[in-house]
Amino acid sequence: MAEIVTPHVAALRVTTNRRGRDASGAGSGVVFTADGFILTNAHVVAGADAGTAVFADGSSTDVDVIGADPLSDLAVVRARSGAPPPAELGDASELRVGQLVVAVGNPLGLAGSVTAGVVSALGRSLPTRSGRAGRVVEDVIQTDAALNPGSSGGALADSAGRVVGINTAVAGIGLGLAVPMNTTTRRIISALLRDGRVRRAYLGVVSTPLPLPGPVAERTGQSSALRVVEVVDGSPAARSGLKAGDLVLSAGRQPVSDAQSLQRLLFADAIGEPLPVTVLRGEAMVDVIAVPSELTATTS
């Protein structure tokens, strides 16, 4: 499978200007369209407008940064000239713990480096920030395939050579994390291709998952909910009447069991639109209508 994936992975180098000084950054990227669009990490291209991509066959091209989304740590760049054919994108939701995967990237400047390992855990969370705005990347893949500086933005592929994740971080000795290729990720990529950025809706709650007591679980048909720890003053959640201590059971008439299930609803199409939310408050079911605003870098 290394032979299948390696030709589609580029070594990326970008130059940024920080505080009046030029600085260079390096990482990896994966060609994912026939017209030369390359997927990488937002932190690889942070502050850059352009750079260079070098492929496993020795060919190279200048690239332009199309868009970046720090809250998912994903970015898209485009080759100005010839690029290899695209890699096949897979579906991380089909992965299983113990499944064989390979990480292909540019660690320490070694183009086309491949390490093998297994999926050691699924469903991990990766906190990210952009200014004061925060988010949790959902369903992150944990692997024991060795990741090193420069691996960021490279491919995590399954045994069929399908890219199921984009390597993003070293979590410790022998552990690496990858942003999963799933429905949410594809939605983010589409937004980057279309708009160069990802617009998100903002509610203004701090929450944590909580198992539901047996009688409530039987009554609602779900085993967990999202406990509201804090409601930000003046936020859409505060205006809707949500209160600390509420157990969020559903939003947009879809069950809510964790922060990720709520985040999936908060993209651009939710901005300014009524969002019905059902909560358990004490022993009573309460319905409220929230109208999310747009999440910005200054939103807390």
For the annotated catalytic residues, the residue numbers are 43, 73, 152
92 three-state secondary structure:
helix
- Find, among 242, 236, 247, 195, the residue nearest to 66 by Cα: 195
Q: Which of 156, 88, 81 is nearest to 122 (CA)?
A: 156
Distance CA 208, CA 226 (A): 6
Do the beta carbons of residue 4 and residue 161 sit within 8 Å? yes
Q: Contact, 192 vs 69, CB < 8 A? A: yes
Cβ–Cβ < 8 Å for 152, 177: no
Cα maximum dimension of the chain: 66
Measured CA distances, 139 to 103, 198, 211, 219, 258 (Å): 18, 19, 19, 28, 11
Do residues 32 and 40 lie in contact, with contact meaning Cβ atoms separated by under 8 Å? no
In a 13 Å sphere around the CA of 11, the CA atoms on its Cβ side amount to 18
